[in-house]
Chains A and B, each alone.
Chain A
Amino acid sequence: MSDYVLSIQDLSVTFALHDTEVQAVREMNFDLRAGETLAVVGESGSGKSQAFLGIMGLLAKNGRATGKAVLGDVNLLGMAPSRLDAYRGKDIAMIFQDPMTSLNPSLKIKTQLSEVLVKHRGFDTRKAEMTTIEMLERVGIPEPAKRANAYPHEMSGGMRQRVMIAMALLCQPKILIADEPTTALDVTVQAQMLDLFKTLTEDFGTSLVMITHDLGVVAGVADRMMVMYGGRAVEKGKVDDLFYDPRHPYTLGLLHSTPHIAHRAARLDPIQGLPPSLEHLPKGCSFNPRCAFCFDRCLEERPPLTPVGDEREKACFFEGPLQSKKVA
């Protein structure tokens, strides 16, 4: 237990709507080891972002997270925001999907970064700004002392995302959550950014959670991965195992629909059908309307997440080899 920096137990995220509720995340469990990188993958709307916003206490007003998120010896969930602020930004930091809107347009870069050090490290402004400039240099921003005085709108998307990375790593957090940090960026910048994540998290011994729907990203940075579908984890395990021997039809589908990785398939093969609506999940296995391996049991029962081999789990009743059959 002690080599885990973060342990998520039965995490669910629910949003209250006018007369109903939607459950965006359902009974999620995982442990994060010190220094490792965990990739969280799934199509749009599968609950990736909301799960981690829930952990960070950043859900929209109508959202509620239940379960446990144990960091060291404290449970972050259900903690009053004022207490949570002792950990957010210091032990656990998050980088968001859209670098263009995630920085405050009316404040200088150095203000937005140094305030983290003033708050969590008790630095005075001068020392905080000096540390800020060092960190900007570290994330590869040219002329960091000058750029520190710039406003966000004077920087490109790639530069802003570097600023976000610098901001998140200022306190050398135990955990960094990066929510699709490269999706909004040019392909050329994406690769540089992933390198940066790798080097910096290694240097600081930070565990990284990389949320993405791009398996190419996973292959480059992650040790383990968790595949989400309709708010649930459907397969978990080491990246190599899941890539070479996927056990869940949805994971297989994702692999077949990713360029570069789908080399074993004759051509790119997108998963048929649409992601499920959270309000009307099908009875039985949520994936059954899109699954080529679906059989009668899948229509009645929901497959629980069960261990299959070394550090692997899957939520699927089908036991035969997946490779033999073409994905629907």
Chain B
Amino acid sequence: MAKTAQWRKIHPPPPPPAQQQSEKPHEPKPETEQFPLPTILTYPSSTPPTLITQGAEARLYKTTYLLPSLPAALKYRPPKTWRHPVLDARLTRHRILAEARVLTRCRRAGVPVPAVYAVDEGAGWLAMEWIGGPPARAAINEWLKRRKEEEGGEGRAVPVTGKEERDKQLVALMRRIGSAVGRMHGVGVVHGDLTTSNMMLRPWEKGREPANGYAATGEGVGDGLLDGDIVIIDFGLASQSTSDEDRAVDLYVLERAFASTHSRAEALFTATLESSYKETFKQAPVVLKKLEEVRMRGRKRSMIG
């Protein structure tokens, strides 16, 4: 610390350029007027940034990094005016850094997550690889909808058991989810908010489908709808942990989320998740036992509540 201060005395940084204030930002678009852009996105770019989501804590923009040809996702945590500014800056810094660290750790270990491009924790943003394709949630829902339409749309939809030939694409996707989660847990990362919204379905490049049978192609509902690699995103609540309890809670959250968003495939999901999770994660049996306990607690709580 002291060293840096001294260094600065000898080499004072130049005063900030005058243009910094006067640089013309993009004409605010209707949607951004409501949400002022982070400063970094007000500087010129080949295409204007687009606001993808405005969550409670963070905003996600689609933008570019370095070159017009390199799309990027920029996650921005704007200052919270109701919090003390010093505390707020600290919390934001901390959260951005924690997310960036977990992402790079996962990526290095070969877990499918977006690569980190750049971080400015002071300004509250993190730029990462843009993952093309829909969130898994949207793809699964669309698939379930088409399956129901095939049935004629009348009455209750037939539960997806995985036994039917036409369901094999969904089974394959569930397997890919289970193995991605297993790999993540295997490198000591717990996600904290596992849902099918926090997983993207990145389209396969030609000729790069997985060869392990987890890519079911061919006949089935909604041809190609469920094709693609699972990429886990949103590590805003993640932590580095090797606790089996934490891992079991991660699985439980995913299971509950799946049940409420895609209830017709709930039972199938539980079974498929467990088996594919085991394949990529050695300690899976211990975690799955814990998961039983967590489920019990959950049931009790819902009976009382």
B is bound to A: no
Name B residues whose Cβ lies closer than 8 Å to a Cβ of A.
none
- Please list the residues of chain A having a beta carbon within 8 angstroms of any beta carbon in chain B: none
